[in-house]
Structure 1
Amino acid sequence: MTKNKILGLFIFFFLTTTVFSITLLLKQTQFLGKFAEEKTTVAVYGIIPQGKINRIWPNFSQGGEEQKPMLEPASPLIQALQPRYVRIDHLFDFPNLDLRVNEIIKAGANPFLALSYFPPPISGDLTTFPSDLTGWQALVQKTIQQYSGKNQKNLLGVYYEVWNEPDLFGKMTPEQYFSLYRASVLAAENCQNCNSFKIGGPAITTLKKDWIETFLRRAGESKTRLDFISWHSYQLNPGKTLTEVNNLKNLASFKNHFADTELIISEWGSVPEMSELHDSYFDASHTIVAIEKLKDSLNKLFTFELVDGPSPEGKEFWGRWGLITNQIYGLTPKPRYYSFAYLNKLLELEIKPQEPLSGVTVIGSTDGKENYCFVLSREKEKPSNFEIGLKDPLPGIYQINSYFLGPSREPFIPESKTISVNNNLSTNIDLAANAVVLLEINRASPALVIAKGATDLPQDSSAKLTINTPPLIFLLNQPAVSQAEFSFLFKPNWNTLEKQKHIFLESKNPVGDGISAWYENSDSPKIISSFVNYGETVEQVVLPIEFLDRNTWHNLSFSFDNNLKQMKVVFNGKESITKTTSNIKLGDFILIGGSRRENNSVEGFIDNLSITTNQEILYQKNFD
Structure 2
Amino acid sequence: MLTKRFYSMPRSVVRVDAQSPEGPYEWWRHTISHGGINSHPLPERVVQGAKKLKPRLLRTFIQEYFAIYPEHGRFDWTKLDPYMDSLAATGAKVVAAVTIKPKPLYPAVNQYEVMPNDIAEWQQVIRALVNRYSVEKQIVTYWEIGNEGDIGEDGGCPYFFRNPDDYNEYYRFTSEAILDAFPEAVIGGPALANPDHAMMKSFIDYCAAGNAPLDFISWHVYNRDPQVHRAYTNKFRGYLEQSGIVPLPEMLVTEYSTSFDTVHVEELAYAPERASMIAAGIMAMMDAGLDYSFYYHVWDQVNYVHEFEPFYEHVNKIMTRHWNETPHRFGMFGVHTEVRPHYFVYQMLSRMGDEKLAASSDRDDLLIHAVRSQGRIAALLVNYGIESAEDRIVKLAFANLAPGRRMIRVYRIDEKRSWSAESLELLPVEQREVDTAAAFFCEVYSPAYSVTMFTFEDL
TM range (shorter): 0.7 to 0.9
Quote the residue 2:185 is aligned against.
Answer: 197
User: Following TM superposition, by how much is the alpha carbon of 1:269 offset from its aligned partner in structure 2, in angstroms?
Assistant: 0.7
The residue correspondences of 1:408-557 to structure 2 (distance < 5 A) are: 408-411=416-419, 412-414=426-428, 415-444=430-459
Change (3 A) 1:252 1:377: closer
Q: Which residue of 1 aligns with 2:250?
A: 262
Residue in structure 2 matching 1:100, options 61, 83, 88: 83
Which amino acid in the other structure matches residue 180 of structure 2?
Answer: N
C-alpha spacing 1:73/1:288, structure 2 compared with 1 (3 Å)? closer
TM-score by length of 2: 0.81
Query: Residue 287 in 1 paired to residue 278 in 2?
Result: yes
Trace 1:573-592 onto structure 2 (pairs within 5 A). Answer: none
Query: Would you say 1:325 and 2:330 are equivalent positions?
Result: no
Pairs within 5 Å for 1:12-31: none
CA 1:409–1:74 in structure 2 vs 1: closer, same or farther (change >3 Å)? closer
Matches within 5 A, 1:124-135: 124-125=108-109, 127=111, 128-130=113-115, 131-135=117-121
Who is 1:114 aligned against? 97
C-alpha displacement at 1:56, in angstroms?
A: 4.8
Structure 1: 5+ residue stretches without partners = 1-33, 445-624
Find the aligned partners of 2:151 and 2:197 in 1 and give their Cα distance.
16
Within 5 Å, give how 1:302-341 maps onto structure 2. 302-310=294-302, 319-327=328-336, 331-341=337-347
Percent identity between the aligned chains?
Answer: 20
Alignment correspondent of 2:127: 141
Counterpart of 1:376 (choices 374, 381, 385) is 381
Q: Distance in 2 between matches of 1:221 and 1:36?
A: 63
Distance 2:444 2:245 in 1: 47
CA contact 2:395–2:441 (8 Å) conserved in 1? yes
Which residue does 2:312 correspond to in 1?
A: none
In 2: Cα distance, 1:118 partner to 1:316 partner? 26
Partner of 1:188: 178
Gaps of 5+ in 2: 68-78, 153-158, 304-319, 420-425
SS class of match (2:342): helix
1:207 Cα shift?
A: 1.2
Shift of the 179–118 alpha-carbon distance from structure 1 to 2, 3 Å rule, reads same
How far the C-alpha of 1:86 sits from its partner, in A, is 1.9
What CA distance in whole angstroms lies between the structure 1 residues aligned with 2:196 and 2:171?
Answer: 18
Distance 1:272 1:142, change over 3 A: farther
For residue 270 of structure 1, what is the amino acid of its counterpart? T
Distance 1:424 1:308 in 2: 46
Distance in 2 (CA, whole Å) between partners of 1:145 and 1:126 is 28
CA distance in 1, matches of 2:257, 2:204: 25
What does residue 73 of structure 2 align with?
A: none
How far off its partner does 1:132 sit? 4.0
The amino acid that maps onto 2:209 is E
Structure 2: distance between partners of 1:346 and 1:179: 43
Write the distance in 1 (CA, Å) between the matches of 2:341 and 2:210.
46
CA–CA distance in 1 between the matches of 2:6 and 2:296?
41
1:220 shift after superposition: 1.0
Question: Does the aligned pair in 1 maintain the 2:240–2:248 contact within 8 Å?
Answer: no
Q: Does 1:211 align with 2:219?
A: no
Deviation at 1:286, TM superposition (A): 0.6
Residue 176 of structure 1 aligns with which residue?
A: 166
Q: 2:293 aligns with which of 280, 286, 301?
A: 301
Query: Aligned residue for 1:398?
Result: 406
Q: Distance in 2 between matches of 1:323 and 1:271?
A: 16
Task: Name the CA distance, whole Å, in 2 between partners of 1:196 and 1:252.
Answer: 22
- Give 1:85 deviation, angstroms: 1.9
Report deviation, 1:257: 2.3
Partner of 2:121, secondary structure, is helix
How far, CA to CA, are the matches of 2:341 and 2:279 in structure 1?
A: 12
The one-letter code matched in structure 2 to 1:46 is D
Question: Could you tell me which amino acid in structure 1 is paired with residue 120 of structure 2?
Answer: T
Q: 2:352 aligns with which of 346, 350, 354?
A: 346
Output the CA distance in 1 between the equivalents of 2:206 and 2:126: 21
- Cα shift at 1:210: 2.8
SS class of match (2:449): coil
**87-96 or 392-401, which moves further after superposition?**
87-96
Q: Shift of the alpha carbon at 1:180?
A: 0.4
Structure 1 counterpart SS, 2:200: helix
SS in 2 for 1:335: coil
Q: 2:382, 2:452 within 8 Å by CA — same for their partners in 1?
A: yes
- Aligned residue type for 1:413: L
Larger Rg: 1
Native 8 Å contact 1:56 1:298 kept in 2 = no
- Total equivalences in the alignment: 402
Q: Residues 213-265 of structure 1: CA distance to partner in whole angstroms, max 9, x if unpaired?
A: 11111111024111111111111101012111111122277542267211111
In structure 1, C-alpha distance between the alignment counterparts of 2:18 and 2:98, rounded to whole Å: 45
Q: Distance in 2 between matches of 1:413 and 1:285?
A: 18
Higher helix share: 2
Aligned-pair CA distance for 1:55: 2.0
Letter in structure 2 aligned against 1:304? Y
CA RMSD of aligned residues (A): 2.7
Match of 2:141 in 1: 158
CA distance in 2, matches of 1:248, 1:104: 30
Query: Secondary structure of the equivalent of 1:135?
Result: helix
CA distance in 2, matches of 1:164, 1:392: 48
- Residues 189/353 of structure 1: CA separation in 2 closer, same or farther (3 Å cut): closer
